[in-house]
Amino acid sequence: MLVEFELIERARSGDDSAFNQVVQVYRKRILGTIARLIGRPEDVEDVGQEVFLRLYFSLDQLRTPEVFEPWLYRLTVNAAYDYLRRQKRRRESRMSDLSEQQVMMADAAAGGKQSDEDQRRSKVREQVEDLLGQVSDEDRILLMLKEVEGLSLKELEKVYNANENALKVRLFRARQRVLKAHDAAASKDGRESKKESADAGITG
């Protein structure tokens, strides 16, 4: 726990300054988690504020301060999930207005302004986003919490209010799907590089 139980208790009883302190302690960590869950830095603060807004109006439902962190993660997961659903709807309608060529040109223009380090990061993000595109939003969030955020199965149990075995099965299946997508992407890259070297051999 990053804060004392007493501070949570005070925030729960309606002390705004205590709530303010709680937010200040947790906001950076929560914003980081949200950034990795939703993958869009420009919307992270909005979603983060939504999490703390929900926290403010639901603190009275918190049974004990001991379960505060799983509770906060649950709110984060729900807000991220809501955002992803909204985003999916918006993206579908937006993408249908653009031709494939326009989308590629926009991507290329955006890529041209990045530094090498940014490009490397973008590549990693893109690669992971592609792999996670093979699983549902729920499984994506679960995988992220386990593999990227490093939450233990015990912690996930409290966040999801589900039993450990069920979570293990879900995680295993999601991981298998991601591995399969990874293999497919790797073999596709292998074929493309073979073709390129063959082409170079013909022209050389």
Partner 1 sequence: MMNMNDKLGREEVLDSLWSEYRSAFPDPEPSANFMPNLWQKIEARRVDPISVFRHFAKICLMGTAALVLIFAISISRLKVEPIASNYIDALDAEHASDYVEVADAL
- Binding region for partner 1 (CB under 8 A): 20, 23-24, 27-29, 31-32, 35-36, 39, 41, 44-45, 48-49, 52-53, 56-57, 120-121, 124-125, 127-128, 131, 147-148, 175, 178-179, 182-183
Q: Mention every residue, 6+ apart, whose C-beta is less than 8 A from residue 134.
A: 177, 178, 180, 181
Q: Computed from CA positions of residues 163, 164, 168, 169, in that sequence, does the dihedral angle turn out positive or negative?
A: negative
CB of 199 vs partner 1, minimal distance in Å: 27
By C-alpha distance, which of 77, 172, 184, 87 is closest to 131? 184
Residue 36 is inside which H or E element, if any?
helix 16-38
CB of 86 vs partner 1, minimal distance in Å: 17
Q: Would you state the structure tokens that stand for residue 59, as one six-digit string? A: 């603190």
Specify the residue, 57 or 60, whose C-beta has the smaller distance to partner 1: 57
Q: Mention every residue, 6+ apart, whose C-beta is less than 8 A from residue 127.
A: 185
Specify the residue, 148 or 198, whose C-beta has the smaller distance to partner 1: 148
Specify the residue, 1 or 95, whose C-beta has the smaller distance to partner 1: 1
CB of 183 vs partner 1, minimal distance in Å: 7
CB of 85 vs partner 1, minimal distance in Å: 19
Specify the residue, 29 or 158, whose C-beta has the smaller distance to partner 1: 29
Q: Would you state the structure tokens that stand for residue 103, as one six-digit string? A: 């989308």
